[in-house]
Structure 1
């Protein structure tokens, strides 16, 4: 299944506490359950003003629907074409 990186502009998100992040996670998971097993949240990276999420889904359109239904921005959605790491250089 295709994998995507979603960039979410969320000023100040890095300052949220554990309970606020838990609430956002719960909202995301609730919408994912409603959308069905075709879309999967892998994990996210929280920085000062953005969240970068890794999702698996058949299309960017389904990721956009998740963002709308959950009330989260999805400022950029890019399909992953390859994964590299230090072992790629070997």
Structure 2
């Protein structure tokens, strides 16, 4: 299944409380459970006024649907072409 990098512009994201982050997570999980297709939220990073997420889905449209139904932004959705890291140099 393709992986997507999602950029969400949320002013003050880095100042969200643990409770607010739990609520966002619960909403996302509820939407995922209601989708009629495979979908996997891998991880998210909160930084400044943005949240960056990595999700697996059958298409970018499914990622946008997840965002619409969850009530959170998906300002940019890009399919991840490759993953690299320190271990890539040793391959």
1:24 aligns with 2:40: no
Structure 1, unpaired ranges of 5+: none
CA RMSD of aligned residues (A): 0.9
Question: For the residues of structure 1 that align with 2:2 and 2:24, how far apart are their CA atoms?
Answer: 24
| TM-aligned CA deviation for residue 54 of structure 1 | 0.4
Question: For the residues of structure 2 that align with 1:31 and 1:56, how far apart are their CA atoms?
Answer: 14
Question: What is the TM-score when the length of structure 2 is the normalising length?
Answer: 0.95
Report the 3-state secondary structure (helix = DSSP H, G, I; strand = E; otherwise coil) of the residue aligned with 1:88: helix
For residues 20-74 of structure 1, give each alpha carbon's deviation from its aligned partner in whole angstroms, at most 9, with x where no partner exists.
1100100010001000451110110011100000000010000000000000100
Q: Which residue of 1 aligns with 2:61?
A: 61
Structure 2, unpaired ranges of 5+: none
Question: For the residues of structure 2 that align with 1:68 and 1:75, how far apart are their CA atoms?
Answer: 11
Question: For the residues of structure 2 that align with 1:87 and 1:40, how far apart are their CA atoms?
Answer: 24
Give the length in aligned residue pairs.
90
1:86 aligns with 2:48: no
Question: For the residues of structure 2 that align with 1:29 and 1:36, how far apart are their CA atoms?
Answer: 13
